[in-house]
Amino acid sequence: MQKQPLILITNDDGLNAQGISVLTKCMQKLGQVVVVAPNGARSGSACSITPLVPVTLKLESKEDNLTVYSCSGTPVDCVKLAYEKVVPRRPDLVVSGINHGDNASISLHYSGTMGAVLEACMKGLPAIGYSLRTRASQCDFQPYLEVVEKVADHVLRNGLPQDVCLNVNFPEVPVLRGVSVCRMARGIWQSEWKDTDEPGVFRLTGSFTNLEPDAEDTDYWALDHGMASVTPLGMDMTSYPCFDTLKSLQE
């Protein structure tokens, strides 16, 4: 008998978030599942790691097909710990989410959900991040589960190219209008600080502007039009086209 796929799950909203519970149930249909997730909210933690203080890993539950750990670190720490201290073999797939809040356009750079995905990718593991455009902590994930499973199944069957991972985002709609394989939109965050009662003390907030609202090949366009976006991301951030403009620095 062929071995079941081994699927590692994490997130950045913490082990008790609704999104990771929904994702776990969905992944259990596809294989054996190990969850290693933060023991609380880690929103906006990007690819951050915890080099200065020790990190705790705690077994929360263990059933036949599902093992769950909590971790005091960041989502990236969770992947690193799971990889080295938890899983019995290399996972066939790493999934992160489902995040409460989208990670389309440049928001992916701040995202702990996607930080975990990038980390898995750096370890050579096929990895997918799922995020839902919502501000609610409780929502109906039902409309998205078919696509969640379809993308995971595709990656389990076909793998992903070397150094590539997937950023999947959903609009908050009762029925998805389709799936768009697309690029990151250009965007900008503005008005990012709210004053508090104390001078010199601020709270992070901000409003996002899509800088190319008419570009149909972008993740934001897909979300704005009721579609799920699937954006392949590469780990090599080198900007090759501008080498020529920098050549004089070598002289």
In the bound complex, what is the minimum distance in angstroms from residue 129's beta carbon to its own copies?
A: 12
User: How far apart (Å, rounded) are the C-alpha atoms in residues 150 and 217?
Assistant: 21
52 is a contact residue toward its own copies (CB under 8 A): yes
The interface with its own copies within residues 120-179 (CB under 8 A) comprises 122-124, 150-151, 154, 158, 160-161, 163-164, 166, 178-179
Query: Contact region for its own copies (CB under 8 A) — 31-39, 129-137, 138-146, 231-239?
Result: 231-239
Of 5, 16, 28, 49, which one interacts with its own copies (CB under 8 A)?
49
Q: Which is nearer to its own copies, 9 or 79 (CB)?
A: 79
Of 81, 98, 104, 223, which one interacts with its own copies (CB under 8 A)?
81
213 is a contact residue toward its own copies (CB under 8 A): no
Tokens of 145: 């589960």
235 is a contact residue toward its own copies (CB under 8 A): yes
User: How far apart (Å, rounded) are the C-alpha atoms in residues 62 and 97?
Assistant: 21
Contact yes or no for 115/107 (Cβ under 8 A): no
**Which amino acid, one-letter code, is at 95?**
V
Q: Which is nearer to its own copies, 27 or 80 (CB)?
A: 80
In the bound complex, what is the minimum distance in angstroms from residue 227's beta carbon to its own copies?
A: 9
In the bound complex, what is the minimum distance in angstroms from residue 1's beta carbon to its own copies?
A: 28
Contact yes or no for 130/97 (Cβ under 8 A): yes
User: How far apart (Å, rounded) are the C-alpha atoms in residues 55 and 68?
Assistant: 16
- Specify whether the backbone of 88 is left (phi greater than 0), alpha (psi in -120 to 50) or beta: alpha
Contact yes or no for 24/9 (Cβ under 8 A): yes
The interface with its own copies within residues 90-109 (CB under 8 A) comprises 106, 108-109
3-class secondary structure, 42: coil
Q: Which is nearer to its own copies, 32 or 74 (CB)?
A: 74
The interface with its own copies within residues 2-41 (CB under 8 A) comprises 41
Of 118, 120, 127, 223, which one interacts with its own copies (CB under 8 A)?
118
Tokens of 104: 């389309």
SS3 sequence, 218-230?
A: EHHHHHHCCCEEE
- Beta-carbon contacts of 196 under 8 Å, excluding residues fewer than 6 positions away, are 202, 203
77 is a contact residue toward its own copies (CB under 8 A): yes
**CA 71 to centroid of chain Cα atoms:** 17
- Tell me the number of residues near its own copies by CB under 8 A: 82
Of 1, 2, 54, 207, which one interacts with its own copies (CB under 8 A)?
54
